[in-house]
Protein backbone atom coordinates (compact mmCIF):
# COMPACT_ATOMS: atom_id res chain seq x y z
CA UNK A 1 0.00 0.00 0.00
CA UNK A 2 2.70 2.50 0.96
CA UNK A 3 4.68 1.52 -2.12
CA UNK A 4 1.72 2.14 -4.44
CA UNK A 5 1.15 5.61 -2.94
CA UNK A 6 4.83 6.43 -3.37
CA UNK A 7 4.78 5.09 -6.94
CA UNK A 8 1.77 7.24 -7.87
CA UNK A 9 3.39 10.38 -6.49
CA UNK A 10 6.67 9.57 -8.20
CA UNK A 11 4.80 9.04 -11.47
CA UNK A 12 3.16 12.48 -11.19
CA UNK A 13 6.57 14.05 -10.64
CA UNK A 14 8.02 12.13 -13.59
CA UNK A 15 5.21 13.34 -15.86
CA UNK A 16 5.83 16.93 -14.81
CA UNK A 17 9.55 16.60 -15.43
CA UNK A 18 8.98 15.10 -18.88
CA UNK A 19 6.54 17.91 -19.67
CA UNK A 20 8.92 20.71 -18.74
CA UNK A 21 11.89 19.11 -20.48
CA UNK A 22 9.91 18.70 -23.70
CA UNK A 23 8.23 22.11 -23.71
CA UNK A 24 10.53 24.61 -22.01
CA UNK A 25 13.70 25.61 -23.83
CA UNK A 26 14.90 27.58 -20.79
CA UNK A 27 14.73 24.48 -18.62
CA UNK A 28 16.72 22.45 -21.15
CA UNK A 29 19.32 25.23 -21.32
CA UNK A 30 19.57 25.34 -17.52
CA UNK A 31 20.03 21.56 -17.39
CA UNK A 32 22.83 21.88 -19.95
CA UNK A 33 24.57 24.66 -18.03
CA UNK A 34 24.12 22.80 -14.73
CA UNK A 35 25.58 19.63 -16.21
CA UNK A 36 28.54 21.58 -17.59
CA UNK A 37 29.07 23.11 -14.14
CA UNK A 38 29.09 19.64 -12.57
CA UNK A 39 31.63 18.37 -15.09
CA UNK A 40 33.84 21.39 -14.47
CA UNK A 41 33.57 20.85 -10.72
CA UNK A 42 34.61 17.23 -11.19
CA UNK A 43 37.52 18.25 -13.41
CA UNK A 44 38.71 20.86 -10.92
CA UNK A 45 38.23 18.56 -7.94
CA UNK A 46 36.17 20.84 -5.71
CA UNK A 47 35.58 19.93 -2.07
CA UNK A 48 32.64 17.96 -0.72
CA UNK A 49 31.14 21.16 0.65
CA UNK A 50 31.62 22.75 -2.77
CA UNK A 51 29.72 19.86 -4.36
CA UNK A 52 26.87 20.27 -1.89
CA UNK A 53 26.63 24.00 -2.56
CA UNK A 54 26.83 23.56 -6.33
CA UNK A 55 24.14 20.87 -6.38
CA UNK A 56 21.96 23.03 -4.13
CA UNK A 57 22.14 26.09 -6.39
CA UNK A 58 21.54 24.01 -9.54
CA UNK A 59 18.43 22.43 -8.02
CA UNK A 60 17.24 25.86 -6.83
CA UNK A 61 17.51 27.30 -10.34
CA UNK A 62 15.74 24.30 -11.89
CA UNK A 63 13.00 24.41 -9.25
CA UNK A 64 12.53 28.14 -9.78
CA UNK A 65 12.13 27.51 -13.51
CA UNK A 66 9.45 24.90 -12.82
CA UNK A 67 7.60 27.32 -10.53
CA UNK A 68 7.96 30.06 -13.14
CA UNK A 69 6.41 27.77 -15.75
CA UNK A 70 3.53 26.82 -13.45
CA UNK A 71 2.74 30.44 -12.65
CA UNK A 72 2.98 31.45 -16.31
CA UNK A 73 0.49 28.71 -17.23
CA UNK A 74 -1.88 29.95 -14.53
CA UNK A 75 -1.52 33.51 -15.84
CA UNK A 76 -2.21 32.28 -19.37
CA UNK A 77 -5.57 30.99 -18.16
CA UNK A 78 -6.61 34.42 -16.83
CA UNK A 79 -4.88 36.47 -19.55
CA UNK A 80 -7.97 37.57 -21.50
CA UNK A 81 -9.08 39.78 -18.61
CA UNK A 82 -5.74 41.21 -17.50
CA UNK A 83 -3.45 41.10 -20.53
CA UNK A 84 -1.30 44.14 -19.63
CA UNK A 85 -0.90 43.11 -16.01
CA UNK A 86 -0.15 39.50 -16.96
CA UNK A 87 2.76 40.59 -19.17
CA UNK A 88 4.29 42.50 -16.26
CA UNK A 89 3.83 39.54 -13.92
CA UNK A 90 5.47 37.18 -16.40
CA UNK A 91 8.42 39.57 -16.73
CA UNK A 92 8.76 39.65 -12.94
CA UNK A 93 8.69 35.85 -12.76
CA UNK A 94 11.40 35.61 -15.41
CA UNK A 95 13.43 38.20 -13.51
CA UNK A 96 13.27 36.10 -10.35
CA UNK A 97 14.70 33.08 -12.17
CA UNK A 98 17.34 35.25 -13.82
CA UNK A 99 18.46 36.72 -10.48
CA UNK A 100 18.70 33.23 -8.98
CA UNK A 101 20.70 32.03 -12.00
CA UNK A 102 23.10 34.98 -11.64
CA UNK A 103 23.56 34.11 -7.97
CA UNK A 104 24.22 30.50 -8.90
CA UNK A 105 26.81 31.64 -11.44
CA UNK A 106 28.53 33.79 -8.83
CA UNK A 107 28.63 30.87 -6.39
CA UNK A 108 30.01 28.56 -9.08
CA UNK A 109 32.75 31.04 -9.96
CA UNK A 110 33.70 31.36 -6.29
CA UNK A 111 33.81 27.58 -5.92
CA UNK A 112 35.93 27.10 -9.04
CA UNK A 113 38.32 29.90 -8.14
CA UNK A 114 38.95 28.43 -4.69
CA UNK A 115 40.37 25.19 -6.15
Residue 65 lies in a domain: yes
Residue ranges making up the domain that contains 76: 25-113
pLDDT tens digits, residue range 52-76?
999 999 999 999 999 999 999 998 8
In a 3-state reduction of DSSP, which class is residue 75?
Answer: helix
Q: Is residue 100 part of a domain?
A: yes
pLDDT one-digit tens code per residue, 39-55: 999 999 999 999 999 99
pTM of the model: 0.87
Question: Does 14 map to a domain?
Answer: no
Give how many domains the chain has, as a whole number.
Answer: 1
In a domain, 91, yes or no: yes
Average pLDDT of the residues of the chain:
91
Give a yes or no: residue 20 inside a domain. no
Q: Does residue 106 surpass a pLDDT of 80?
A: yes
Question: CA-to-CA distance for 105 and 101, rounded, in angstroms?
Answer: 6
The domain that holds 51 is classified in CATH as: 1.10.287
Q: Is residue 107 a part of any domain in this protein?
A: yes
Structural domain contains residue 53? yes
When pLDDT is cut at 50, 70 and 90, the band that residue 82 belongs to is: low
Amino acid sequence: MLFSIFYKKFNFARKGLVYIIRRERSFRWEITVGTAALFLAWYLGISLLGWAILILVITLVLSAEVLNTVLERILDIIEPRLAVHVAVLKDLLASAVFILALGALAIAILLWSSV
